[in-house]
Structure 1
Amino acid sequence: MGAYEEKKEACGTVCLKYLLFTFNFLFWLAGGVVMAVGVWTLVEKSDYISLLPSKTYAASAYILVLAGAIVMVTGVLGCCATFKEQRKLLGVYFVLLLCIFLLEILAGVLAYIYYQQLNDELKQNLKATMTNKYRQSDENEHITKAVDKLQQEFKCCGSNNSTDWVESKWIRSADSKGRKVPDSCCKTEIDLCGQRDHPSNIYKVEGGCISKLEKFILEHLKIIGAVGIGIACVQIIGMVFTCCLYRSLKAEPY
């Protein structure tokens, strides 16, 4: 009877090992996805981050990059710990899983919180940023590029509408050369095309650039939140497998 129990226990341990190994491989792939989403957000959409007064959006992406990198390292450690059947390594692996779990939950929560306050922040700050910082100094060059890219990519003009540019420091100055809006507002962007603000020449979008940027950021916040919380939930399975394997292994002799 004792031999049967030992054989049954050994069989259960082997099954747990392969389950945990499979999980680690999938977990490693998921880490690559998490990191890719974070890097893509920061690299491809970094211009728009400069238009946001809060750093919450960028922080969520940075957390995903960090979590993704740790996930990939942890996946390799998990495979080693599983096949070497070392309880100490499994313990370290579990702690790392827990840390990653908390990081990804944090990224998801930050994305959700910012999702709730984004509209108010954009209403309060985007117009001021566009009218006060556009083409004002070399320090604000990134703002200028971000505004031009925003207006061209989303086919919009001004924060709420094209008349917002009447309050622009640059438009009021001689440097604007008689432009009524920046050239990036034009449907066909050429030098000095902003001198004519007729609807046939410039974008007249309902809601202006605020509505376009808000929709864009909200979609990306959903992705960040879903990826962070989704992977975190999957990790619970890994932590359960790890605990079961840890308990099934005999304590190492000292």
Structure 2
Amino acid sequence: MSDSKPFNEEKDTCGMVCLKYLLCVFNFIFILTGCGVFVVGIWILVQKADYLSLLASSTFAATAIILIITGVVVMATAILGCFSVYKEHKGLLRLYFMLLLIIFLLVTIAGVLAFIYQQQLSDELKWHLNNIMVENYNQPGQESVTQSVDKLQQEFHCCGSVNSTDWERSLYVQSSSAEGRKVPDSCCKTKTERCGIRTHPSNIYREVMGMIFTCCLYRSIKSDPY
């Protein structure tokens, strides 16, 4: 009997019926997982697009594209599994299990690499954010960077890459346009005009931007934002 024909001699057994239902349930969960990964990728591109200008390279932005592609591949594999189980097609079942093995290996490798390079990513982000604040914040032609930094500090209640003293070296703070501000107004717990003049802990956030941003990005890549 060729692979293109159903294997009828097994399809009526109790074990085969149970296996078919089990695989259908597994593939349904697999489809939901693929949808989740796909949604995370879209979420990063749409909701966190403002932060992409703060990243050290386009590699991090490409992560969202990779998540979207991965989600599509996972959903397609699950649909293939459902179809092959329904048709009891041996050739398609072999292809399905081969794709499952490849996906498992890729996820394992990605997880290991993420664990190994997590600290390197954190250090690179802190260094890059520090340079942005010192050289680019509120400078001509850097409006998008300025808006991204302000939004980041307000949204995550932080001030500076390491701490608020990072702003002391900023070209903006040292210029006359700062009007006496020691930190941007976006560092303030209650944002008002020129509130950045006063750097008392009761007035400005003390959390570390680099650490918060790294954790946020890492969680966005690994889990569903909802």
TM-score under structure 2 length normalisation: 0.76
Question: Letter of the aligned partner of 2:129 in structure 1?
Answer: L
Question: Letter of the aligned partner of 1:131 in structure 2?
Answer: V
| Larger relative contact order (CA 8 Å, sep ≥ 6) | 1
CA drift of 1:10 comes to 4.7
- Residue 53 of structure 1 pairs with residue 56 of structure 2: yes
Bigger Cα Rg: 1
Conserved? CA contact 2:153–2:209, under 8 Å: yes
Correspondence for 2:213: 213
**Superposed counterparts of 1:49-128, under 5 Å:** 49-54=52-57, 57-128=60-131
Q: CA 1:50–1:107 in 2, change beyond 3 Å: closer, same or farther? A: farther
Q: Secondary structure at the match of 2:54?
A: coil
Conserved? CA contact 2:189–2:205, under 8 Å: no
**Superposed counterparts of 1:16-27, under 5 Å:** 16-27=19-30
CA drift of 1:75 comes to 1.8
Q: CA RMSD in A?
A: 3.1
Correspondence for 1:3: none
Correspondence for 2:4: none
Q: CA 1:202–1:14 in 2, change beyond 3 Å: closer, same or farther? A: same
Correspondence for 1:197: 198
CA drift of 1:31 comes to 1.4
5+ residue gaps, structure 2, are: 1-7
Aligned equivalents of 1:144, 1:171: Cα separation in 2: 13
Q: CA 1:52–1:70 in 2, change beyond 3 Å: closer, same or farther? A: same
Correspondence for 2:143: 141
Sequence identity (%): 49
CA drift of 1:114 comes to 3.2
Which of the residues 168, 182, 191 maps onto 2:184?
A: 182
Conserved? CA contact 1:67–1:104, under 8 Å: no
CA drift of 1:49 comes to 4.3
Question: Letter of the aligned partner of 2:181 in structure 1?
Answer: R
5+ residue gaps, structure 1, are: 1-5, 228-254
Conserved? CA contact 1:126–1:210, under 8 Å: yes
Conserved? CA contact 1:35–1:68, under 8 Å: yes
Q: How many residues align?
A: 216
Question: Letter of the aligned partner of 1:124 in structure 2?
Answer: W
Aligned equivalents of 2:96, 2:10: Cα separation in 1: 26
